[in-house]
Amino acid sequence: MPEACIFCRIASGELPVALIAENDHGVVFRDLHPQAPAHLLVIPRRHVASLAEATDGAELGALLLLAADAARAVGLADRGYRVVANTGADGGQTVHHLHFHILGGRAMHWPPG
Ligand code: 5GP
Ligand code: ZN
């Protein structure tokens, strides 16, 4: 795990955050700078730099199921929500540890910026 990776430090428990949900493969917590009334991040426990570097389908599947569990846990399931994986420079990725954003609590627009 890269020393400086903030999400590795969160996943390992070194930086304490309130977890919304977790399973064997990942953890879910609230984004520090929410872009919607509900804004959660789903991250794998182990360091994977981005979706482009992901190779483990079981891990990715478990993370998406975890995203659905977390959305349900915070009451987003009925009205819906958006799941986003910003990937690489053009994708707007700023933290280089794979994460899925869950955004909800308001209507999302399309196309995104
Ligand atoms: P990206 O821009 O890479 O798709 O998303 C990174 C997200 O991580 C941003 O929405 C940012 O607000 C969030 N973030 C960055 N550092 C921290 C942190 O230390 N704690 C939490 N909870 N969120 C963070
Ligand atoms: Zn990491």
Q: Which residues are catalytic?
A: 99
CATH domain 6-104 topology: HIT family, subunit A (3.30.428)
Q: What are the boundaries of each domain within the chain? A: 6-104
Among positive and negative, which fits the CA dihedral 74, 80, 85, 89? negative
Closest ligand 1 atom, CA of 33? 12
Closest ligand 1 atom, CA of 93? 3
Helix (H, G, I), strand (E, B) or coil at 21: strand
Ligand closest to Cα of 43 equals 2
Does residue 113 carry a pLDDT above 90? no
| Non-local CB neighbours of 31 within 8 Å, separated by 6+ positions | 39, 40, 41, 101
Give me ligand 2 centre to Cα 30, in Å. Answer: 17
Give me ligand 1 centre to Cα 55, in Å. Answer: 23
Q: Maximum CA pair distance of the chain?
A: 39
Beta strands (DSSP E) in the chain are 19-22, 26-30, 38-44, 81-84, 100-104
How far apart are the C-alpha atoms of 86 and 96, rounded to whole Å? 10
What is the tens place of the pLDDT at every residue in 65-94? 999 999 999 999 999 999 999 999 999 999
What is the tens place of the pLDDT at every residue in 11-68? 999 999 999 999 999 999 999 999 999 999 999 999 999 999 999 999 999 999 999 9
**Probe ligand 1: pick from 5, 30, 41, 96, max atoms within 8 Å of CB?**
41
- The pLDDT, as a whole number, for residue 1 is 66
